[in-house]
Amino acid sequence: MNYRHAYHAGNFADVFKHVILTRILAYLARKPAAFRMIDTHAGEGFYALGGVEAEKTGEWREGIARLIDARAQISAQVQELIAPYLAIAAPCLAETSPRYPGSPAIAAALLRQQDRMIFCEAHPETAARLKHNLGRDRRAKVIEIDGFIGLGAYVPPIERRGLVLIDPPFEAKDEFSRIVKHLEGAVRKWPTGSYMVWFPIKEREGVTRFYRQIGDVLVAAGIKDGLCVEFRVDEINPNLPLAGNGLVLVNPPYVLEAEARTILPWLVKVLGVPGCAGHHIARI
């Protein structure tokens, strides 16, 4: 367990993932009924952008910083869709010691009094930082546990509404197959839940196999709504730093596909290398 998200916080992949996350959470919050977010690999919640790790890679400058700089040129339609994300991230960057909000901080900002959050984090120091960063938020529970064990234990939530975010570090060679196995168990227990799985795109073959396996899982569980959304800032090259990533979305809000089709071309334009960046959205 060597992965530290502090090196990558606020990069193009975080921007993409967190913009989509805010769209899903904002949709869930439209109805008054309580819902729950289960974050299987939660991280620290906030990341110091002036810290040694963030300074070392500078990835956030090509991600969230660029997005904020480009704000004025965004169409009104895209502005409206990314407004919940920027309303959380921009003030954090404007602090005296700039920070980037991770998924727990984003959830804490968007969930209401009646909603609940469970954050699983296996790294003891990271879990302790997350607890500290969330303060006394009575809606939130931080559990130092393997995220996939947490998934098995906390699904289905009593509210029977909500989102599971699966965002592992992909240190293990078999991460794709572990996700498929544990997602299969989760959707069997809670087929109406929404799930969002992040993954890196380093080569095409493994991703195609992953989609096929997820498709089989959804068919077996009788789930008809599966979507994949990909975003790359450059050509995919396994020998170069990560340039592409994707999300598998199970039971996403019905508006999400159209929203992603509006947001993604603009993200490609702002964060991508012209002529090399791109996006792809398809049903699974």
Ligand X SMILES: C[S@@+](CC[C@H](N)C(=O)[O-])C[C@H]1O[C@@H](n2cnc3c(N)ncnc32)[C@H](O)[C@@H]1O
Q: What are the catalytic residues?
A: 167
Run of H or E including 87: helix 76-93
Alpha carbon distance 262, 131 (integer Å): 36
- Please report whether residue 279 would count as binding ligand X according to CB under 6 A: no
- Least distance to ligand X, CB of residue 148, Å: 7
Residues composing the chain: 284
Are 15 and 267 spatial neighbours (Cβ–Cβ below 8 Å)?
yes
Quick one: which segment of 28-36, 38-46, 176-184, 268-276 binds ligand X (CB under 6 A)? 38-46
Alpha carbon distance 137, 159 (integer Å): 19
Tell me the two tokens of residue 152.
Answer: 């098995």
Subset of 144-173 contacting ligand X (CB under 6 A): 146-147, 167, 169
Quick one: which segment of 40-48, 182-190, 212-220, 248-256 binds ligand X (CB under 6 A)? 40-48
- Please report whether residue 131 would count as binding ligand X according to CB under 6 A: no
- Please report whether residue 103 would count as binding ligand X according to CB under 6 A: yes
Alpha carbon distance 42, 241 (integer Å): 23
Q: Which residue, 147 or 272, is less far from ligand X as judged by CB?
A: 147
- Please report whether residue 22 would count as binding ligand X according to CB under 6 A: no
Q: Which of 59, 121, 230, 259 binds ligand X (CB under 6 A)?
A: 121
- Please report whether residue 126 would count as binding ligand X according to CB under 6 A: yes
- Least distance to ligand X, CB of residue 62, Å: 17
- Please report whether residue 27 would count as binding ligand X according to CB under 6 A: no
Q: Which of 15, 16, 37, 41 binds ligand X (CB under 6 A)?
A: 41
Interhelix angle 256-271/12-28, rounded to 10 degrees, is 160
Q: Which residue, 53 or 215, is less far from ligand X as judged by CB?
A: 53
Q: Which of 99, 116, 123, 232 binds ligand X (CB under 6 A)?
A: 123
Q: How many CA atoms within 13 Å lie on the side-chain side of 146? A: 7
- Please report whether residue 102 would count as binding ligand X according to CB under 6 A: yes
- Spatial CB neighbours of 118, under 8 Å, sequence gap ≥ 6: 36, 37, 38, 39, 140, 141, 143, 150, 154, 157
Q: Which of 99, 268, 50, 178 is nearest to 280 (CA)?
A: 268
Residues that bind ligand X in the complex, under the rule CB under 6 A: 1, 3, 5, 17, 39, 41-43, 102-103, 120-123, 126, 146-147, 167, 169
